[in-house]
A and B are shown apart, each in its own frame.
Chain A
Amino acid sequence: MDAATQRLLEEKERRIRDAVALKTPDRVPIVPLGDAFTARQAGVKVSDFCTDPQIAYRTMIEVFSGLGELDGIQHANYNVHLLSTIWLSRLKIPGRDLGENDAWQVEEIELMTPEDYDAILDEGFGPWLERYFAERLPGTAEAFAAFVATLPDAFAAWREKGIVVFSPVLATVPYEYFCGGRSMQQFMLDMHRRPDKVQAAMDAALPFLKEQMRQVIRGLSLMGLWIGGWRTASEFLSPRLWERFVFPYYKELVDVAIEEGAIPVLHFDADWTRDLERLLELPKGKCVLSLDGKTDIFKAKEILGDHMCIMGDVPPRMLSLGTPAEVTAYCKRLINEVGPGGFILAQGCCIPPDAKYENVKAMIDSVQ
C-alpha cells in the first residue's frame, strides 16, 4: 500500500472513531452496506455472488469504489450461508432452489425441536451446534469456513482502495439462534410453555458465543463487529420477556467486544423505540446503534445522543422507490439533527437489491 492510501485510511478511521467517541469529526462519516445490490449493478448473477466469496467481495469493491468517497464499509464480503449460521435455518439459494437472480430466502420452518434444549444442556452448545450443522444443515460449516478464509484478502483489497473495513463479522444472542431454528411461531410458544428450559439453554449457549466472538475479534484484528438484533426487537416482545431473554445477553456480548478493543455495532432492525433508554446501561462512547428506519432515530438522538453514536437510517424503500432529491433531503436532515457529532450516515439495514444507483450515490455524496 502506498503512503497516500495509508494516510487516507488513517484519516477515515479517525473520522469514524471520533464519531463513535461522540466527538464531532471534520465531517459526518459515511459507512454503507450492500450485497445483492452490487451484484445487480455489476451484472453478476446473484447465484454466483451469494455462493462464491471471491466473486462477492470483488463485486462489492468494484461497485462501491465507483459510487463516491466512502469512509468505510460495514461488511467486506458476503456468503448466503452466513444466514444459516445465525438463524439455524435452511435457505433457498438462487441457482439451486430459485432463479439465478432471485433474492435468497431464509426458510422459516421448525428445524430445531424442543428436545434440542435438553441436548444443548447435556452436550454443551458448541458440540450440539457442530452436530446440528452436520445433520440438519449439511454444507453450512464448510461454506462458512471457506468464507472466513477469504476475509484477510477481502480486508486487504478494501484497504488498498482506501476504504476502512468497519464491522465485517456478525454475532448475536442465543434468542436469535433459537428463534430461527425453532421458527418464530414455535419459539414464542416455547417462551410461554417452557421458559425455564429456554433460559437454561440460552445460559448454556452464551459462554460459547462470547468466547467464539472473542477469538474472532483477536484472529481478524477487528475494528468493530455487528451484534445483530432482528426478532429480539421491542416491537415484538412483551417487556418482561425482553428483560429476561434479550437484554442481559446483549449486555454480555457488548462487554466482551469492548474488552477486546472492538466497537460493537448494534445492528438493530425493526422498532426498538420502547427500550432505547435501556441502552444507556451500555458503556458510553464505545458502541454504535445502527437503525433501519423503523426505530425513531430522532427519538434515539434525544435519549442516547450524549451516550452512544447513532448510525443510519436511510430507509431501504426510499433507496429503491424514492428520488435522489428525496434521499439528499433526508440525509441532510439526519446530518443536521442526528449529527453532526456522534453520527455515522448509512442506509437502514442493507441497501436493497433493486436500489437505484443514483439514490445510493446521493446518499454517499450527501456528507460532502
Chain B
Amino acid sequence: MTPAPLRRSANRAPQWPDPMDLLSFSGFLGSGKTTLILALAKELAARGHRTAFIVNEVGEVGVDQRILRDDGLEVYEITSGCICCQMGVDLVKTMEALVREERPQNIIIEASGVATPDGIADSLSYYGGPPFASTRSIGVLDPTRLEALIEVMTPLIESQIAGVDEIIVTKTDLATGAEVAQARSVAERLNPKAALRTLSATDPVALADLARSLAKPGRTS
C-alpha cells in the first residue's frame, strides 16, 4: 500500500518513544481475516510487542475482548451506522485515540469485508497522529470459496488484492491442493509484485514465521 500522506501529521514534530508499525488486512467477509489477525496479534503480544487491533466487522470479536486484553492486546471496534459514510471517520478517530492512550508498537486494522486498501489509505489521509515507521497492507484470500466469489464479485476481490504488499492464502487446512493452487494463480495474476504466502491459522509454525516477518523493525513499504 502506498503510505497515506498523513497530511495533518506533517506539521507535528515526530516526538515518539517507539516507532509504530501499521498493518492493514483486507479480504472479503469470511475470508479468515479475523482468525488470522487474532492469532497473529497473540503471537506479537507473546513477543512483547504492544499491539492494538482495530476491527470494524461489528460483533465479530466482542465476546473475545476480555480474553484478548488478558493477553495484552487492545481491541477497538469501529461501529458505523451505515456501510459507507462513517467508517473512514471512525477509523481515523479510533487510531488517533488509541495512539494517544495506548502507545502501541503495532496497530493492526481489520478492514470491513467490503473495504479496499485504496479506501483505507484514502481515509488515513486525515490521520493526524504521530507518523508510522512503516505501513504494510495484506490481502487475504480464502481458496475454498474463491471460484464462486471471483465469478460474482470480480471488482471487489480484484481491488482487495491489487496494490497490497503481501497476499496470504488462508485455510490451507480446509482447502484442496487444487483450490490453493488456483488461489495462488489468481493472486499472482492480480498482483504479481506482492509477496505471497499460504498458511493455516491453526498452524503455529506458520503463524510464528508470519509474526517474525511482520514484526521486523524499520520496514517501509
Contact = CB atoms under 8 A, between A and B. Distances in A.
A317 B92 contact: yes
Interface residues of A, number: 44
Contacts of A230: 83-84
A185 B30 contact: yes
Interface-central residue, B81, B92, B156, by most chain A CB under 10 Å:
B81
A237 B152 contact: yes
A316 B85 contact: yes
A236 interface: yes
Contacts of B29: 183-185
B84 A184 contact: no
Interface residues of B, number: 32
B144 to A, nearest CB: 11
A238 interface: yes
B155 interface: yes
Given A92-B58, A236-B155, A103 B84 contact: no
Interface in B78-114: 79-86, 88-89, 92-93, 113-114
A104 interface: yes
B81 A36 contact: yes
Contact of B153 (A106, A188, A322, A350): A188
A294 B114 contact: no
A96 interface: no
A107 B154 CA distance: 25
Given A102-B79, A235-B156, A353 B86 contact: yes
A106 B126 CA distance: 26
B126 A317 contact: yes
A45 interface: no
Interface string B40-60: 000000000000000000110
A192 B58 contact: no
A354 B78 CA distance: 14
A92 B153 CA distance: 28
Interface in A61-103: 92, 98, 102-103
Interface of A: 36, 92, 98, 102-109, 183-185, 188-189, 191-193, 230-231, 234-239, 241, 269-270, 274, 292, 294, 316-317, 320-322, 348-350, 352-354
Interface of B: 28-30, 58-59, 79-86, 88-89, 92-93, 113-114, 119, 123, 126, 145, 148-149, 151-156, 159
